[in-house]
Amino acid sequence: MTDLADLSIASAGVGLRRGGFSSRELTNAVIHRAAVTESHLHAYLTLDQEGARAAADRADADFSAGVDRGPLQGIPLAIKDNMTTRGIETTAGSKILSGWVPPYNATVVDKLNAGGAVLVGKTNLDEFAMGSSTENSAFGPTRNPWDTDRVPGGSSGGSAAAVAVGSALGAFGSDTGGSIRQPASLCGLVGIKPTYGMVSRYGLIAFASSLDQIGPFARDVRDAATLLEAVVGFDIRDATSYRGETPDISSLLDRGVEGMKIGILAELTGEGIAPEVDQACRAMYDKLADAGANVRELSLPAAGYALSAYYLIAPAEASANLARYDGVRYGLRVDGDTTEEMMAKTRAEGFGPEVIRRILLGTYALSAGYYDAFYGQAQKVRTLLRNEFAAAYEQVDVLVSPTSPTTAFAIGERTDDPLSMYFADVCTLPSNLAGDPSGSIPIGLDGDGLPIGFQVMAPALHEAQLFRVAAEVERLAEFEVRPALATSEVTPA
């Protein structure tokens, strides 16, 4: 019999409603999976077993009373630890927030609670979501369930590892330059970054406010759509929340791609992409053409400069956002003779090396005399890139590329070379700069048995087209393998 922890959200929902099992049983199976896998993975920073069981019991009581709050009722989910949870420690993976217990919930958390979801715990991340490997967490790295000597990607590596191994049925992460899609790719999952403004950022600990967006991790495309539908919508508490009507997400899932126009983003293929990743993606382009799509290559020259622009814009915004960590109102304080000395000591002690690096980089890029050459020029390149995307979307419905230039790399391999780590996001960050929706779908394994992800990008507010193509990619790939850690009898290390 299938272990309940391996069910999709859709099948678990059927089981819960037909009385096959209770949310308490489902939640216990997921907590058991966490108990046997956590010592191998470290996907969670906080496991809230008591809270999860209480939420499961409430969901079961609702089912018994005939109350149905939607497709997530009774479903055990995980949340990245940069979203605030009232009464539950929230650290953003940083020593500077260690022990902080927020007095309020993120809007996403409120929405999940209202939908009857069971929140299992808070997942590990690169400190303040800055990184591509989850090695920058102040509380130790997360490991990849497919090969525990390798990274799960980042920054939402804990959420990805948890869903891949079954210590959650689905999870939420945040994506500033690829922090959902790249770990989804490295862990063999579906990961979606929606259009900027689609999901409220209220309670999401800010990294780069014009780029940050919350989105789901799931084991299949339909589950990802279900998770996203549960959290989208305008929120008065987020000034950048999208005020228009929430776009359709899942109505075209079964439509197929016949007659669609699909563009291969030329700057993100070939050079710099690992040969096995490139081949797997090329095979998928052919399959999409065979399935009736009109597939051709399109060039977006500014996409070749996106990495440089991103690593000026994101650190600039981060340096401003992280000014709030000053040892006064919450978190760590290191004593000093004056307030200014206390602040500078607190920040040097509380932030890890990558966060310090980006604060310095952003401060420099914004400082007098350098602003025009760096930050100002990067903002103009952002305009060029947006214009090129807009022109491309007049010719095609979606753009496609690899999600990550490589499969999962070894733990420690890139930690001493910030630039090589930054290259992990080269394919994903153009969509963040443009504000467009984008997702990763697993399409196969490389020779080392590591997952390969395929990226689909769509114009802003066209989530339905993104999910339509993603669903077809999923059908064509027939990727149904799970990591050994999820399927074999595992004992805690």
Partner 1 sequence: MPVEIDIAKVARLARLALSEDELAGYGAQLEDILDHAERIGALPTEGVPPTSHPLPMTNAFRADEVRASLDREEVLEQAPAREGVFFRVPRILGET
Q: Is 374 in the site for partner 1 (CB under 8 A)?
A: yes
**Touching partner 1, residues 22-81 (CB under 8 A):** none
Q: Is 345 in the site for partner 1 (CB under 8 A)?
A: yes
Reduced to 3 states, what is the DSSP secondary structure of residue 470? helix
Q: Is 493 in the site for partner 1 (CB under 8 A)?
A: no
Q: Is 271 in the site for partner 1 (CB under 8 A)?
A: no
**Is 401 a residue of the active site?**
no
Q: Is 377 in the site for partner 1 (CB under 8 A)?
A: yes
Q: How many CA atoms lie within 13 A of 167 on its CB side?
A: 34
Stretch that binds partner 1, among 124-132, 254-262, 291-299, 380-388 (CB under 8 A): 380-388
Q: Is 207 in the site for partner 1 (CB under 8 A)?
A: no
Torsion sign across C-alpha atoms 313, 317, 318, 320:
positive
Q: Are the beta carbons of 152 and 177 closer than 8 angstroms? A: no
C-alpha 330/C-alpha 328 separation (Å) is 6
Q: Out of 94, 133, 174, 179, which one is annotated catalytic? A: 179
C-alpha 319/C-alpha 339 separation (Å) is 20
Q: Is 371 in the site for partner 1 (CB under 8 A)?
A: no
**Is 179 a residue of the active site?**
yes
Query: Which of 258, 247, 203 is CA-nearest to residue 225?
Result: 247
**Touching partner 1, residues 381-410 (CB under 8 A):** 381-384, 386
CB closer to partner 1 out of 424 and 452? 424
Q: How far is the CB of 158 from partner 1 (least distance, A)?
A: 23
**Which residue in 46, 98, 379, 415 binds partner 1 (CB under 8 A)?**
379
CA distances from 296 to 39, 41, 288, 468 (A): 46, 40, 11, 18
Torsion sign across C-alpha atoms 405, 410, 415, 417:
negative
Sheet holding 294-298, edge to edge: 44-47, 118-123, 76-80, 170-175, 213-218, 190-193, 438-445, 451-457, 398-402, 261-265, 294-298
**Is 80 a residue of the active site?**
yes
Q: Is 312 in the site for partner 1 (CB under 8 A)?
A: yes
Q: Per-residue string for binding with partner 1, 412-431, x by CB under 8 A?
A: ------xx--x---------
Stretch that binds partner 1, among 65-73, 182-190, 329-337, 472-480 (CB under 8 A): 329-337
- 118-123/44-47 β-pairing: antiparallel
Stretch that binds partner 1, among 59-67, 158-166, 306-314, 469-477 (CB under 8 A): 306-314
Give 403's DSSP letter: S
C-alpha 154/C-alpha 160 separation (Å) is 9
**Which residue in 319, 404, 407, 440 binds partner 1 (CB under 8 A)?**
319
Which two three-digit tokens encode residue 211?
């780029």
Q: Is 199 in the site for partner 1 (CB under 8 A)?
A: no
Q: How far is the CB of 469 from partner 1 (least distance, A)?
A: 21
**Which residue in 19, 65, 329, 394 binds partner 1 (CB under 8 A)?**
329
Q: Is 181 in the site for partner 1 (CB under 8 A)?
A: no
Backbone φ and ψ for 454, nearest 5 degrees, come out as -115, 130
**Which residue in 30, 268, 378, 443 binds partner 1 (CB under 8 A)?**
378
Q: Out of 94, 133, 137, 155, which one is annotated catalytic? A: 155
For residue 46, list its beta bridge partners: 122
CA distances from 334 to 24, 275, 319, 343, 344 (A): 44, 49, 20, 8, 9
Q: Is 450 in the site for partner 1 (CB under 8 A)?
A: no
Which two three-digit tokens encode residue 144?
């990849």
CB closer to partner 1 out of 290 and 417? 417
**Binding footprint of partner 1, residue count (CB under 8 A):** 70
Give 329's DSSP letter: S
C-alpha 368/C-alpha 402 separation (Å) is 38
CB closer to partner 1 out of 266 and 384? 384
Q: How far is the CB of 387 from partner 1 (least distance, A)?
A: 8
Q: Is 338 in the site for partner 1 (CB under 8 A)?
A: yes
Catalytic residue IDs = 80, 155, 179
Query: Contact residues for partner 1 (CB under 8 A)?
Result: 100-101, 103-104, 196-197, 210, 236, 239-243, 302, 305, 308-309, 311-312, 319, 323, 326-333, 335-345, 347-348, 351, 356-357, 359-361, 363-364, 367, 373-374, 376-384, 386, 418-419, 422, 433-435, 460
